[in-house]
């Protein structure tokens, strides 16, 4: 079943809004002086790269979810999309744990949950849209890299 242009636009705007809301956790918990004072591992990118990377990744996530929403059978949408929504929750929680509460180890555990949910999301999205799958691959790579950074910062500090 295909969706109408109006439904498609509604789905797209809905995913953009949800992803934007999740991104607010990062805005609400800026790195600040605490993060600046931490010992960082090799290959830590400059701080200016993070908002650029996350903006692009959040946009790709919204587009991927929109494609799956439009292409999945209406009765199967929840099956294909619940891991995506769950990983968004884990994503938003990470900033609060790491930057807000300074719980580096708990934040690392959250990244483990996020990675598991993201792999499940990729598997489900691939069954509906190969394009949606590939749109999330940069996000997967970034989360793996973020896991390295989180683990190394925890270890070094």
- Whether this prediction's pTM lies above 0.75 is answered by yes
Q: Is the pLDDT score of 79 beyond 90?
A: yes
What's the CA gap between 82 and 76, in Å, rounded? 10
Rounded CA gap, 34 and 46, in Å?
Answer: 16
- Structure confidence by residue, pLDDT tens digits, 103-151: 999 999 999 999 999 999 999 999 999 999 999 999 999 999 999 999 9
Residue 135 and residue 64 in contact, taking contact as beta carbons nearer than 8 Å: yes
pLDDT tens digits, residue range 83-95?
999 999 999 999 9
Q: 117 — phi, psi (to 5°)?
A: -65, -35
Q: Distance (Å, rounded) from C-alpha 132 to C-alpha 155?
A: 35
Helix axes 5-28, 77-95, angle to 10 degrees: 20
**Vertex 42, ends 95 and 151: CA angle to 5°?**
40
Cα distance between residue 98 and residue 138, in whole Å: 22
Tens digits of per-residue pLDDT, 23-40? 999 888 888 899 999 999
Is 103 within 8 Å of 31 (Cβ atoms)?
A: no
Residue 1's pLDDT is what? 59
Domains present along the chain, CATH in parentheses = 5-156 (1.20.1260.100)
Cα gap 129→85, rounded to integer Å: 17
Distance CA 54, CA 70 (A): 24
| Tokens (6 digits) for 14 | 């809905």
Whether 78 and 124 have beta carbons less than 8 Å apart is answered as: no
């Amino acid at each position: 079943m295909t969706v109408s242009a109006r439904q498609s636009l509604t789905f797209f705007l809905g995913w953009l809004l949800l992803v934007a809301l999740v991104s607010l956790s990062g805005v609400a918990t800026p790195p600040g002086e605490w993060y600046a004072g931490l010992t960082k591992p090799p290959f830590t990118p400059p701080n200016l790269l993070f908002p650029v990377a996350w903006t692009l990744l959040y946009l790709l996530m919204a587009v991927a979810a929109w494609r799956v929403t439009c292409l999945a059978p209406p009765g199967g949408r929840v099956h294909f999309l619940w891991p995506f929504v769950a990983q968004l929750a884990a994503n938003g929680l990470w900033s609060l744990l790491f930057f807000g509460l300074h719980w580096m180890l708990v934040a690392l555990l959250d990244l483990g949950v996020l990675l598991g949910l993201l792999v499940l999301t990729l598997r489900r999205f691939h069954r509906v849209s190969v394009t949606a799958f590939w749109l999330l691959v940069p996000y997967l790579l970034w989360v793996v890299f973020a896991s390295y950074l989180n683990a190394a910062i925890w270890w070094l500090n």
